A and B are shown apart, each in its own frame.
Chain A
Amino acid sequence: MEDMILLSHGSGGESTRKLIEEEILKYFGNELLNELYDSSIFETSGRLALTTDSFVISPIFFNGGDIGKLSIYGTINDLSVMGAKPLYLSVGFIIEEGLTLREFREILKSMKLASEECGVKIITGDTKVVEKGKGDKIFINTSGLGIIEEGMDWRGREIKEQDVVIINGGIGEHGLCIMLQRLGIKTDAEVKSDLAPLNSLTLPLLKISSGIKFMRDPTRGGVAGVLNEIAQKYNVEIEVNEESLPIKSWVKSASEILGIDPLYSANEGKVVIIADKKEEEKIMNFLKAHPLGKDAKVIGEVKGKGRRVYLRTRIGTRRILDPLKRDLLPRIC
């Protein structure tokens, strides 16, 4: 029978030690983690950012990524949009017994490559195993610590009328891809999650432009969700132009078949940016030249005081773009 994770791997005994030393350290090992103290100890100074996220996606392997890669990039992105350079990660696994060792290794390898790509170290972690039926293959929690250098903290810059709303590329891809796969619908190779780490995009962008006033990655709730959060947090009215929304053709077809508006579908490699109109050209030039921003578009603008988001439709009428009011599909991230 194929090697698999058993309850004993989480018992704290010999099998746990073997799992950590022979599997996990093999992939994640570094000078801080290898010491295996109860806490990892390091020195740093400056303004820090801390974030955490749990990943429960099903299926764990999907077109364009897997739960491991997602758990690294997801946390990297939460740091990156805040202007924080990612330094360290913690990783917690909750594994359902019966996960094959082959699958677990594939996830570990994918996490190793993802963290190396982002220049972060995994410096502490935990592994628990639960009985069959009490989980779903594997859940991963990651926390990320980042450092915010001088001039990178955009908080406190006032959002005002005529500010522009920018997105770095096609919307709704992650959510619709997962949904199609979950339904077992056969798809072309172009149908894949947009999963990507944003640090290489947001950090240089913040360096070249002080006109960036807000950034958030539109995961659950999609672009419509983030825009509504902005409208309510800053008391502004936002208008989105339907015709300028970048939407890939497969996303359009899938959204018609499934009845899901791409504006509400999750993204994993996108950032919604609110920026000063005067900086629009500079920002767009930067984005267009970046591999994660070549399909970037100005999708709307801030219209002044208010709390609502509106959509200017392609026939010229205007309607409310509400936040998501119902669950589209659970466990997409």
Chain B
Amino acid sequence: MEIKELLQKIKSISKKEINIMEFCGTHTHEIFRYGIRQILPENVHLLSGPGCPVCVTAEEDIDYIIALSEEYNLGIITFGDLVNVPGSLGSLNHLRAKGKEIKVIYSPLEALNIAKENPNKKYLLVGIGFETTAPNLAYTLIKAKEENIKNLYFLSLHKLTPPAMKAILDMGEIKLDGIIGPGHVSTIIGRTGWKEVFEAYRIPFVIMGFKPEEIIRGIYHLIKIIEEGEPKLLNTYEKSVKEEGNKYALETMYKIFKKGPANWRGLGVIENSGLLLKEEFEEFDVRKIYPLKIEKKPEKNNFCRCGEVLRGVLKPTDCPLFGKACTPENPKGPCMVSSEGTCSAYYLYGGE
């Protein structure tokens, strides 16, 4: 059996005490779901990074959406887990319970139908996600413009992963020996998309898929590179990730988006890490049309340590709220909200 063989090989070559970080939330989820940490040698430590889009959503952004709904009566259209993320005054779920319109969709194109079917109402489509989802949202806005839809606005919470990775490496809080490269994001940006970060920091970097055997095979390659001492940027997810990524998706994305600052929970504002609407699409840009000023609230949740968890500095189990005041039913921080969040993965699949 392939997995057993790979594990044998890993045991035989792995000598050093090493820290490996997976940046992608889907990797975190699958690693926990299959109990992969249990079967790796004790000297190999897996840390989870900030790769869950919901988890890195800033409190101020949730507060802004709530304010738009309350002050301008915009119907909110967004994706699954975002409705559970707590802002400083509650989540979108609370807003819905108060009678405000919150629609959860799976495909962004559904937003166009909602807007068309309710011409007398104004809607806000909140786009969230990394490079993987941004092209779909971009396509939706191109369609909205073509179809001349006037009652749909857009808020981009889209973020780019390489700048966040750089930010974590620059902080230098943890010593990373290797990086598990995000599979989905890489299908869009390709191996090429990581070259700049790799050249700057020279940390072994292996892009891998999400099946347990793919993860274990990827980790084997990563350990091999680390032990050999010659850093490499390797793609082991060849069936989905091309060298240059998906050019069509990237072109679509940059037709409507430009790079700009983004506010990351746990990391703060990072330049050029967000996707903002270009001038040609200003008519959809809710920040231009309803520029509400959101005060940064003094941290209400003094004990939530999501920020440190997102940076891999703190284990969820070391947070005083974990499993007590903060559970998936009643999350205090976003890392407990999304199933891809590190706290949620620890809680749902973790040890006794």
Dominant SS among interface residues on chain B: helix
> For the complex, is A44 an interface residue (Cβ under 8 Å from B)?
no
- Chain A residues, Cβ within 8 Å of B290: none
Q: Are B84 and A317 in contact (CB under 8 A)?
A: no
- Chain B residues, Cβ within 8 Å of A36: none
Q: Are A315 and B34 in contact (CB under 8 A)?
A: yes
CA of A311 to CA of B35, assembled, Å: 10
* Nearest-Cβ distance from residue B277 to partner chain A, whole angstroms: 27
Q: Which of chain B's residues has its CB closest to A318's CB? A: B35
> For the complex, is A270 an interface residue (Cβ under 8 Å from B)?
no
> For the complex, is A325 an interface residue (Cβ under 8 Å from B)?
yes
Q: Which of chain A's residues has its CB closest to B84's CB? A: A326
Q: Which of B32, B348, B352 contacts A325 (CB 8 A)?
A: B348
> For the complex, is B118 an interface residue (Cβ under 8 Å from A)?
no
By the criterion of a CB under 8 Å from any partner CB, how many residues of chain B are at the interface? 26
> For the complex, is B97 an interface residue (Cβ under 8 Å from A)?
no
Q: Are A315 and B3 in contact (CB under 8 A)?
A: yes
Q: Are A259 and B339 in contact (CB under 8 A)?
A: yes
Q: Are A315 and B106 in contact (CB under 8 A)?
A: no
CA of A317 to CA of B33, assembled, Å: 9
User: Which chain A residues (174-221) contact chain B, with CB distance < 8 Å?
Assistant: 183-184
- Using known A-B contacts A258-B106, A313-B35, A326-B329, determine if residue A319 contacts B349 with beta carbons closer than 8 Å: yes
> For the complex, is A53 an interface residue (Cβ under 8 Å from B)?
no
- Chain B residues, Cβ within 8 Å of A313: 33-35, 212
> For the complex, is B36 an interface residue (Cβ under 8 Å from A)?
yes
CA of A258 to CA of B39, assembled, Å: 29
CA of A52 to CA of B216, assembled, Å: 49
> For the complex, is A117 an interface residue (Cβ under 8 Å from B)?
no
Q: Are B328 and A325 in contact (CB under 8 A)?
A: yes
- Chain A residues, Cβ within 8 Å of B39: 315-317
> For the complex, is A320 an interface residue (Cβ under 8 Å from B)?
yes
> For the complex, is B38 an interface residue (Cβ under 8 Å from A)?
yes
CA of A308 to CA of B110, assembled, Å: 40
> For the complex, is B272 an interface residue (Cβ under 8 Å from A)?
no
- Chain B residues, Cβ within 8 Å of A314: 34, 212
* Nearest-Cβ distance from residue A264 to partner chain B, whole angstroms: 11
Q: Are B32 and A319 in contact (CB under 8 A)?
A: yes
CA of A315 to CA of B215, assembled, Å: 12
> For the complex, is B261 an interface residue (Cβ under 8 Å from A)?
no
* Nearest-Cβ distance from residue A241 to partner chain B, whole angstroms: 14
CA of A242 to CA of B327, assembled, Å: 25
- Chain A residues, Cβ within 8 Å of B119: none
CA of A279 to CA of B216, assembled, Å: 40
CA of A183 to CA of B39, assembled, Å: 39
CA of A120 to CA of B80, assembled, Å: 41
Q: Are A322 and B35 in contact (CB under 8 A)?
A: no
- Chain A residues, Cβ within 8 Å of B212: 313-315
- Chain B residues, Cβ within 8 Å of A315: 3, 34-36, 39, 212-213, 216
Q: Which of chain A's residues has its CB closest to B113's CB? A: A184
User: Which chain B residues (210-247) contact chain A, with CB distance < 8 Å?
Assistant: 212-213, 216
- Chain B residues, Cβ within 8 Å of A317: 34-36, 38-39
CA of A315 to CA of B212, assembled, Å: 8
> For the complex, is B350 an interface residue (Cβ under 8 Å from A)?
yes
Q: Are B106 and A183 in contact (CB under 8 A)?
A: yes
* Nearest-Cβ distance from residue B310 to partner chain A, whole angstroms: 20
Q: Which of chain A's residues has its CB closest to B37's CB? A: A317
Q: Which of chain A's residues has its CB closest to B93's CB? A: A327
CA of A326 to CA of B339, assembled, Å: 10
CA of A313 to CA of B3, assembled, Å: 13
CA of A319 to CA of B346, assembled, Å: 11
Q: Which of chain B's residues has its CB closest to A182's CB? A: B106
A interface footprint on B73-102 (CB within 8 Å = 1, 0 otherwise): 000000010001000000000000000000
Q: Which of B33, B349, B352 contacts A308 (CB 8 A)?
A: B352
- Using known A-B contacts A259-B339, A317-B34, determine if residue A325 contacts B329 with beta carbons closer than 8 Å: yes
- Chain A residues, Cβ within 8 Å of B38: 317-318
- Chain B residues, Cβ within 8 Å of A259: 80, 339
- Chain A residues, Cβ within 8 Å of B352: 308, 320
Q: Are A320 and B329 in contact (CB under 8 A)?
A: no
* Nearest-Cβ distance from residue B283 to partner chain A, whole angstroms: 28
Q: Which of chain A's residues has its CB closest to B39's CB? A: A317
Q: Which of chain A's residues has its CB closest to B344's CB? A: A325
- Chain B residues, Cβ within 8 Å of A184: 110
Q: Which of B36, B213, B349 contacts A320 (CB 8 A)?
A: B349
CA of A258 to CA of B105, assembled, Å: 11
A interface footprint on B146-168 (CB within 8 Å = 1, 0 otherwise): 00000000000000000000000
* Nearest-Cβ distance from residue B8 to partner chain A, whole angstroms: 14
Q: Which of chain B's residues has its CB closest to A326's CB? A: B328
CA of A16 to CA of B22, assembled, Å: 64
User: Which chain B residues (32-55) contact chain A, with CB distance < 8 Å?
Assistant: 32-36, 38-39
| Most chain B CB neighbours (cut-off 10 Å) among A258, A308, A325 | A325
Q: Which of chain A's residues has its CB closest to B330's CB? A: A325
- Chain B residues, Cβ within 8 Å of A318: 35, 38
User: Which chain A residues (19-40) contact chain B, with CB distance < 8 Å?
Assistant: none
A interface footprint on B325-352 (CB within 8 Å = 1, 0 otherwise): 0011100000000010000000111111
- Chain B residues, Cβ within 8 Å of A325: 327-329, 347-348
CA of A10 to CA of B331, assembled, Å: 43
The 3 A-B pairs at the shortest CB distance, nearest first, are namely A317-B35, A325-B328, A319-B349
Interface residues, chain A, with chain B CB atoms under 8 Å away: 183-184, 258-259, 308, 313-320, 322, 325-326
10 contacts between A and B (CB under 8 A): A314-B34, A315-B3, A315-B212, A315-B213, A316-B3, A319-B32, A322-B347, A322-B349, A325-B347, A326-B84
A-B contact sample (6 more), CB < 8 A, given A183-B106, A325-B327, A326-B328: A313-B34, A314-B212, A315-B3, A317-B34, A317-B35, A322-B347
